[in-house]
Amino acid sequence: MSETRRPALLKTLCREAVLYEKAPGGKVRCLACAHRCLVAPGGSGRCAVRFNDGGSLKAPWGYVSGAAPDPIEKKPFFHVLPGARTLSFGMFGCNFTCDFCQNSAISGFRGQALSPIAAEPEALAAEAAALGAKVVVSTYNEPLITAEWAAAVFAAAKGRGLRTAFVSNGYATPEAAAFLRPALDLWKVDLKTFSPENYRKACGAELAAVRTGLELIAAAGFWLEVVTLLIPGFNDSGEEIGEMAGYLAGLSRDIPWHLTAFHPDYLRTAAPPTPAATLLRAREIALKKGLRYVYCGNSPGTGCENTVCPACSRTLVERRGFSVKASVIGAGGKCPCGEKIPGIWN
């Protein structure tokens, strides 16, 4: 994005970034995401919010696009503190250009009608604690591109004994993962397709880099859950679902995979909503590929929102939508049969 198209707020609500390196000719190399943009003076990266100001990279700071309490199941994390309240916050911008984005006004500056709300890390942490939140979550836009701000908020939250989380597209670099690890506990990643061509065409991204990001996140010890929005005619074939499931099972059979229903939005309005039968078929494929915890979302009535023990088939956490109706999971995530369920339970 050129300097003339960059929203004026970016010129003031920013600080020098941490995740970058200087390059010849006054250019800078951003290290926040796998695009690794080389940015000339006056220009910005693909995200539009990290920009070169006289040979230093500036990153967003000191505001939120919004902040609100949410159930943790809405993020979704199903293997973390069932029923817990979170404080979710976001900024502006995204490093992807998904044509099915459901937060396009925030991520892409549609209409340039931005209304930043001034904020400080300690104030956000204090608000979370006052709300009784157990987790503070960077979401709404892509948090990797505002990693420095998120890390500051998370450090304040950890000072109050809270957990911290990303809701992300997973386009991570080793530098970003290492920078975030001291402050970040949980990472939800959207795996949008398993087609390199579709990733490139629909999202402006590379599948190989997403896979590398997932592998980095898993290896670094973040608690990882994965979401795939199943879009009819885009990523819902049995073959592609099987490839995604096999890949995730190869990382760990214990990664929770959330299969969610698509509803027409933004630029992708011709595709129909995802039938419940598609979610159920995809779940069966994933279970056969070896994943032990596969959930269906955005489609009431599937009955596949509960956490079930893979050893004895007992329902451990019963959910309806974003609500937890009952939980019998024991301390440390143990089923009454003795099976330990991976996750963060207390």
Question: Which tokens hold the place of 97?
Answer: 């250009």
- Residue 155 binned pLDDT confidence (cut-offs 50, 70, 90): very high
Number of C-beta neighbours around residue 77 at 10 A: 28
Cβ-Cβ contacts under 8 Å for 134 (sequence gap 6 or more): 72, 81, 84, 85, 86, 162, 163
Q: How many helices (H) and strands (E) does the chain have?
A: 8, 19
Residue of 202, 208, 207, 224 whose CA lies nearest to 101: 202
H runs (alpha helix) in the chain: 104-107, 121-130, 147-158, 174-180, 196-198, 207-220, 238-251, 276-288
Which of the two residues, 287 and 301, has the higher pLDDT score? 287
The answer on pLDDT for 331 being more than 90 is no
CB 248 within 8 A of CB 287: no
Q: Give the separation between CA 47 and CA 145, rounded to whole angstroms.
A: 7
Tell me the pairing of strands 223-230 and 28-30: unpaired
The answer on pLDDT for 45 being more than 60 is yes
pLDDT for the residue 102: 79
Mean pLDDT for the chain overall: 93
Question: Which tokens hold the place of 282?
Answer: 């995809």
Q: Burial-class residue 289 by CB neighbours within 10 Å (0-12, 13-18, 19+).
A: buried
The answer on pLDDT for 104 being more than 90 is no
Residue written as tokens 């505002």?
Answer: 146
Residue of 316, 324, 274, 315 whose CA lies nearest to 296: 274
Q: Is the pTM of this model over 0.85?
A: yes
Cβ-Cβ contacts under 8 Å for 8 (sequence gap 6 or more): none
Q: Burial-class residue 125 by CB neighbours within 10 Å (0-12, 13-18, 19+).
A: buried
- Residue 9 binned pLDDT confidence (cut-offs 50, 70, 90): low
Backbone angles phi, psi at 65, to 5 degrees: -80, -20
pLDDT for the residue 2: 41
